[in-house]
Amino acid sequence: MADSYLQADDVTALADARDAVKDLDSLSRQFGRSISDSFAKAASGSRQLEDVLRNVGSRLTEIGLKAALKPLGEALTSGLESLVTTGGSSLLGGLSLNAMGNVFDGGRVRPFATGGVVATPTYFPMQGGVGLMGESGPEAILPLARGADGRLGVAASGSSPTTNVVVNIATSDAESFRRSETQVSAALARAVARGQRAL
């Protein structure tokens, strides 16, 4: 049975989709008006067809450029807005070491040096620009650690599970056990190795 309510992420996604459809509608109306006006001028003889086509191409380029630059403008506006709302004291008083894994979210610094989850789109500073994470769903930030073998990877916390192996051997005499002890040990070592690979 489907849930009769929407999650907060679903509501945000629907609002984003609605805004995108509105933007598309606006762009298509602008494009339609531009073409209609241009061909009307060509039909009335006030313009040459070559000029009309050049004008349509120029207008399409302008509309496309505005649409492509809109997200950048919004990101810059958002960044400047958060700078203004946090006040000048955050420029010096809130100085933090970004090498320790910080992310800026709404003008606040969110430390992620020990890991975490980003559930909503979040901008963060990068050398020469701004990065975006969490734009298509939750993303995990995992701290890396260097193991004893020198390899870098995600550090698992906790201890490895304990595996108990019980072997019962029934034999009629000790001498027959001593003769097969090496074979039993090798078979047991292979079984344990297969079990560890499957974990």
DSSP conformational letter for 167? -
pLDDT of the residue at 162: 67
What DSSP element (H or E) covers 104? Answer: strand 102-105
Contacts of 56 (CB under 8 A, 6+ apart): 34, 35, 38
* Spatial distance between the Cα atoms of 112 and 122, rounded to a whole number of angstroms: 13
Q: Using one digit for the tens of pLDDT, what is the confidence trace for 115-169?
A: 778 888 877 777 777 778 888 888 888 878 887 888 888 766 666 666 677 777 7
Residue 130 DSSP SS3: strand
Greatest C-alpha distance within the chain: 115
Instruction: State both tokens at 94.
Output: 């809130």
pLDDT per position as a tens digit, 19-67: 777 777 777 777 777 777 777 777 777 777 777 777 777 777 777 777 7
Question: Do you know the residue count of the chain?
Answer: 199
Identify whether the C-beta of residue 75 lies closer than 8 Å to the C-beta of residue 123: yes
Give 104's strand partners. 109
| Among 126, 147, 143, 29, CA closest to 79 | 126
Which is higher by pLDDT, 19 or 5?
19
Q: In this structure, are residues 134 and 86 in contact, taking their beta carbons and an 8 Å threshold?
A: no
Give the amino acid at 170: A
Residue 150, by phi and psi: left (phi above 0), alpha (psi -120 to 50) or beta? left
Per-residue pLDDT of 164-190, as tens digits, reads: 777 777 778 878 777 788 888 888 888
Q: How far apart are CA 31 and CA 62, in angstroms?
A: 10
Q: What is the predicted pLDDT for the residue at 89?
A: 42
